[in-house]
Every structure is written in C-alpha cells, then in structure tokens.
Structure 1
Amino acid sequence: MKSTTSKNHAYFLLRLAMGINLLAHGLVRIPKIKTFSNWMVNLYKETILPEIFISPFAKILPFVELTIGVFLVFGLYTYRTCLASGILMTILIFGSCLAEQWEWVGFQMIYVLFFYLLISTSQNNHFSIDNLLQNKS
C-alpha cells in the first residue's frame, strides 16, 4: 500500500466538501420538489427558456445533485463524476446568465474551478472507493 501525502489529504477534503455541498443541495430540495420547481419556473419565466424545459429540469436537478454528492463523498467514479459536475455547473451558469443572476454566475464559476482542481489532480484521490477498486485489480 502506498503511503499517503498531504496532497492526498487535501484532495480528500476538497472532494468531501464538494460532495457534501451537492448532496445537501439535493437532500433539502427533494422533500419540497414542487416548491423548488415552481420557484425555478417563476425565475426563468422572463427568459427565452420555455417552461416545458425548466419544469422537468427543476424536478430532476435535486436527484442529480444528490447522486453526484454521494459519489463524491465516497469517491466513486470520481473523475467522471467531476466531469459531470462541471457540465452541470456549465448548464447552471447558462441559466443564471439568462436570468441575469450575475452573483450566482460568480459562485458557479468557483464551483467549476474546484472541479477543475479535482479533475486535474485526480492522481491524489487516495481515500476513495475508486482507489480501493483499483488496488484490487
């Protein structure tokens, strides 16, 4: 078994923080999915996005966030999960721009930066299910 480094610990903390963040986003929204969906539809009603796209997206988003969060917390399919997270953030940035929520765009760009860091330093993903599975083969 290879020894751990401070980079392994730092990677774990960042991956865990991002995972808990997304897991919690999904977790709090799922019980009130109808309210969340209505809020999103109302937010985007003045944009070019048709409601037929917004409502289903709003109903799926919390489950996607929850799933991504769980995968990140446990370090399962970490590289692919981080790529999916970056794509999700890009979609959210597009929507935030259309709704002229510029402050949200700034925060979402920070999320993208964190996912960039996780992707570009994925060799440090020591404390993960991915690593356990890799060591078994």
Structure 2
Amino acid sequence: MNKKTAYFFLRLSMGINFFGHGLVRLTKLQDFADGMTKIFEKSWLPQFFVHIFSTALPFLEFLIGLLLIIGFKTRIAAMAGASLIILLLLGSSTVENWEAMGIQMIYAGLFYLLISRMEDNSLSLDKK
C-alpha cells in the first residue's frame, strides 16, 4: 500500500506542478509567448516555430497536469509530459540554458518513475 500511496503523491505533485504552470501562463498567454520568442531569438530554431510552441505550451501543461491530478489516462499523460520535457531540453540547449536543463532532467527522472511504476497507480480514475 505504501508504494501506491507514494505513487499517488508523486502523480499528484507532478500534476499540480504542470497544471499550475499552464494555468498561470494561460492568463498571460500572449506575453508568455512573446517572452519565450524573444529568449530564443539567437537560437537556430525558427522564430515561427518557437512562437507556435510557446503558445501551445501552456495548454499542454494545463491538460497534462489536469490528467495527472485526476489520474485519468495516466500513462498517456506521463508519456506526454516526458515528451514535452524532451522538447524543452532541446530548446534549452539551443540557448545554452544549462541551469534550466538541470531542472528539466529532474522532471525527466520523475516522469521515468511515473511511467515505470504504472502498476502502483491504483489511487486514480485509471485504477484496475
């Protein structure tokens, strides 16, 4: 039971983290997207792509977070979160933001745990 409880708290924590990121950024979507685009001006990434990604990011964070909080489609949500972290790592590397990459690697490790321990996901809407 301890593993299931620990999994619940990790899933809930990651969900609240992503949900909060998305919610706050949605309230200032244009400013967020414009700010991200400015940060990536000197990267080799096309500005058009950066702006589209920056506009979509808060929606993705919000949705992934919500799914993790309620424990619905947890495997898909965790894999989507891990995939999003991979994209963020790629972006951070293009502007040499090594500090952000360190934090993103922690997220990658936490998503590893969520994905690899899916059998402990019983305190959720997905429970079997």
**TM above 0.5:** yes
Question: In structure 1, which of residues 13, 30, 36 is the aligned counterpart of residue 9 of structure 2?
Answer: 13
Note the C-alpha offset of 1:31: 1.0
Distance in structure 1 (CA, Å) of the matches to 2:95 and 2:27: 25
Aligned identity (percent) is 42
Q: Give the alignment's TM-score, normalised by structure 1.
A: 0.92
CA RMSD of aligned residues (A): 0.6
Unaligned 5+ residue runs, structure 1?
none
Q: Give the alignment's TM-score, normalised by structure 2.
A: 0.98
Q: How big is each residue's C-alpha offset from its partner over 1:14-68, in whole Å with a ceiling of 9 and x where there is no partner?
A: 0000000000000000010111011101000000011110111111100000000
The corresponding residue for 1:95 is: 91
Question: In structure 1, which of residues 104, 108, 113 is the aligned counterpart of residue 109 of structure 2?
Answer: 113
Bigger radius of gyration among the two: 1
Distance in structure 2 (CA, Å) of the matches to 1:51 and 1:84: 23
Moved over 3 A (4+): none
TM alignment of 1:1-137, pairs within 5 A: 5-131=1-127, 134=128
Distance in structure 1 (CA, Å) of the matches to 2:53 and 2:112: 24
Q: How big is each residue's C-alpha offset from its partner over 1:63-118, in whole Å with a ceiling of 9 and x where there is no partner?
A: 00000000000001101111111110000000001011100000000000000001
